[in-house]
C-alpha cells in the first residue's frame, strides 16, 4: 500500500517565518517514517513553492525554487491536488495538509478557510478557533465569558496610538500601572513584545507593537512563574504533564526562546496538586471555549505570592522546534514526537470525516 501523502506547509507571511521553518523541519523529520512527506514552502510574499527537500526546509529561500511555484485550488473537486504555476498542471494529490505556520496568514484562520473550501483534511483548529487563538483581545474576551481567571488588560487600535498617544498612556498608567507588557494582538513567538517600566518605554513599546498589527494589547505585569501545558484531541481532548519555563532574560522574549538557548525548561513543572489540577481544568476549558481541534499549547501564570493560577493565552499551532515545549511535554507524558505527529494526522482525518456528516444543502422533511 502506498503511504499517505502529507503536505507540510511552512514559512509564510509573518514575523514568525523563520521559526516556522525550524518547526516544519522537526515535523517533517518525524513524519517521514510513516508518511510520504511533501514540504511546501510559502515565501514572505505569499507565493507557494515545492516540493522542497526536507533537509532544505531550515534554509528555504524562494530563489532556490523559482521554477517550482505551486498552488491548490479552493474547491472540493480538486481533492487536495497540488498544481504547478502558472499552467496549473497537476503534480500530485495530497491526503492531509499539515500547516506548520505561526502567526498571520497561517495560524489565524485565513489558510484554514482555504483548506475548508477545498474540503481537505488538515491538522489543527478550524477557522474560528484559529482566528480567536491568534487575536489576543478576542481570545481574552472569550476566556472572560467562560469565567477563566486572567490578568487585567487593555486593547487599543493603531489609529488611537498614533493620534492620541498621551491619552492612551494615561489610561494604561491609571488602569494597569507598571510594569506592563505591550504586545501586537495578532502575532506570537514574542515578536514585537516589550516589558515596560516607565512612560518613555511605554511610548516606544506601543510604537513597536503597532508596527506589527493594527490592534495592540497591554497586560498588567505580575510576579509569576510561567507554566505551559499541551492539549491534544478533537471533541475529547487530553492534556500532557505541565512544564515550567525559567527565562534566561527578563521575560521569555524572542531571544530567550530561539537564540540564547539558556532558558531552563522544567518538565514536569513543580506544582502542588491543586495548582496542577486547576491548570489541567482551565486548559481544557479554554480549548473548548474557542472550539479548538487537533492541538494547542495553553500558557499560564502562577503568582509567586498567592499561588493563584491565571491563564495567559492559547496557541493553536505551537512551536515544534528542537527546544519547543509542546512536543517536549508530550514526550515526558509518554508520547514521543513520531507518535505525536502521527496522532495529529489521524485527528485531522477524523475531523474531516466528522465534518462530512453535515448537510450542505437544504432537505425538506416529508
Which part of the chain has CATH 3.30.1490.20? 152-220
Return the C-alpha torsion angle 306, 312, 315, 316, nearest 10: 100
Q: Residue 319 catalytic?
A: yes
Cα 299 to Cα 282: distance, rounded to the nearest angstrom? 10
Which residue out of 35, 212, 258, 287 is catalytically annotated?
258
Which residue out of 313, 324, 326, 351 is catalytically annotated?
313
Could you report the average pLDDT of every consecutive run of 10 residues in the chain (366 residues)?
93 91 97 96 97 97 94 94 96 97 93 97 98 96 98 97 96 97 84 93 96 95 96 98 85 53 86 97 98 98 96 96 93 97 98 91 79
pLDDT at 259: 53
Cα 52 to Cα 116: distance, rounded to the nearest angstrom? 24
For residue 6, give the H/E element and its range.
strand 5-11
Which part of the chain has CATH 3.30.470.20? 143-147+223-335
Which residue out of 65, 226, 299, 324 is catalytically annotated?
299
Give CATH for domain 5-122: 3.40.50.20
Q: Residue 22 catalytic?
A: no
pLDDT at 253: 55
pLDDT at 13: 92
Q: Residue 49 catalytic?
A: no
Which residue out of 14, 133, 319, 324 is catalytically annotated?
319
Which residue out of 297, 312, 324, 351 is catalytically annotated?
297
Q: Residue 198 catalytic?
A: no
By DSSP bridging, strand 153-157 and strand 36-42 are unpaired
Which part of the chain has CATH 3.40.50.20? 5-122
Identify the three-state secondary structure at position 114.
Answer: helix
Which residue out of 189, 230, 240, 278 is catalytically annotated?
189
Identify the three-state secondary structure at position 42.
Answer: strand
Which residue out of 16, 219, 228, 253 is catalytically annotated?
16
Tens-digit pLDDT profile for residues 296-349? 999 999 999 999 999 999 999 999 988 899 999 999 999 999 999 999 999 999
pTM of the model: 0.92
Domain 143-147+223-335 falls in which CATH fold?
D-amino Acid Aminotransferase; Chain A, domain 1 (3.30.470)
Which residue out of 20, 190, 194, 315 is catalytically annotated?
315
**Cis previous bond, 71, omega within 30:** no
Q: Residue 16 catalytic?
A: yes
pLDDT at 306: 95
Are 340 and 320 contacting, i.e. CB atoms less than 8 angstroms apart?
A: no
pLDDT at 315: 96
Q: Residue 297 catalytic?
A: yes
Q: Residue 67 catalytic?
A: no
Cα 306 to Cα 342: distance, rounded to the nearest angstrom? 40
Q: Residue 89 catalytic?
A: no
Give CATH for domain 152-220: 3.30.1490.20
Tens-digit pLDDT profile for residues 5-27? 999 999 999 888 999 999 999 99
Which residues make beta-bridge pairs with 181?
A: 195, 219
Residue 228 in grid coordinates = 505551559
Amino acid at each position: 500500500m502506498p503511504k499517505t501523502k502529507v503536505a507540510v506547509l511552512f514559512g509564510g507571511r509573518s514575523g514568525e517565518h523563520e521559526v516556522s521553518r525550524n518547526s516544519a523541519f522537526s515535523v517533517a523529520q518525524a513524519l517521514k517514517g510513516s508518511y510520504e512527506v511533501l514540504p511546501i514552502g510559502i515565501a514572505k510574499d505569499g507565493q507557494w513553492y515545492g516540493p522542497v527537500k526536507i533537509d532544505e526546509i531550515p534554509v528555504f529561500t524562494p530563489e532556490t525554487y523559482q521554477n517550482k511555484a505551486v498552488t491548490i485550488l479552493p474547491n472540493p473537486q480538486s481533492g487536495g491536488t497540488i498544481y504547478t504555476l502558472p499552467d496549473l498542471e497537476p503534480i500530485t494529490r495530497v491526503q492531509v495538509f499539515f500547516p506548520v505556520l505561526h502567526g498571520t496568514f497561517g495560524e489565524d484562520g485565513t489558510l484554514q478557510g482555504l483548506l475548508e473550501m477545498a474540503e481537505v483534511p488538515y491538522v489543527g483548529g478550524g477557522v474560528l478557533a484559529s482566528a480567536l487563538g491568534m487575536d489576543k483581545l478576542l481570545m481574552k474576551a472569550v476566556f472572560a465569558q467562560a469565567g477563566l481567571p486572567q490578568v487585567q488588560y487593555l486593547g487599543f487600535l493603531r489609529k488611537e496610538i498614533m493620534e492620541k498617544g498621551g491619552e492612551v498612556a494615561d489610561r494604561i498608567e491609571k488602569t494597569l500601572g507598571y510594569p506592563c507588557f505591550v504586545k501586537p494582538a495578532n502575532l506570537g513567538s514574542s515578536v514585537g513584545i516589550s516589558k515596560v517600566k516607565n512612560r518613555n518605554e511605554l511610548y516606544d513599546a506601543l510604537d513597536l507593537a503597532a508596527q506589527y498589527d493594527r490592534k495592540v494589547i497591554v497586560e498588567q505585569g505580575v510576579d509569576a512563574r510561567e507554566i505551559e501545558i499541551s492539549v491534544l484531541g478533537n471533541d475529547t481532548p487530553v492534556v500532557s504533564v505541565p512544564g515550567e519555563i525559567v527565562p534566561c532574560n527578563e521575560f521569555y522574549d524572542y531571544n530567550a526562546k530561539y537564540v540564547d538557548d539558556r532558558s531552563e525548561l522544567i518538565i514536569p513543572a513543580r506544582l502542588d496538586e491543586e495548582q496542577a489540577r486547576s491548570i489541567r481544568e482551565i486548559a481544557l476549558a479554554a480549548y473548548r471555549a474557542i472550539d479548538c481541534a487537533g492541538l494547542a499549547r495553553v500558557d499560564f501564570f502562577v503568582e509567586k505570592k498567592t499561588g493563584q493560577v491565571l491563564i495567559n493565552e492559547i496557541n493553536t499551532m505551537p512551536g515544534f522546534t528542537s527546544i519547543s515545549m509542546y512536543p517536549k511535554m508530550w514526550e515526558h507524558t509518554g508520547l514521543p514526537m513520531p507518535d505525536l505527529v502521527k496522532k495529529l494526522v489521524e485527528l485531522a482525518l477524523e475531523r474531516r470525516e466528522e465534518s462530512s456528516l453535515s448537510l450542505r444543502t437544504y432537505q425538506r422533511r416529508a
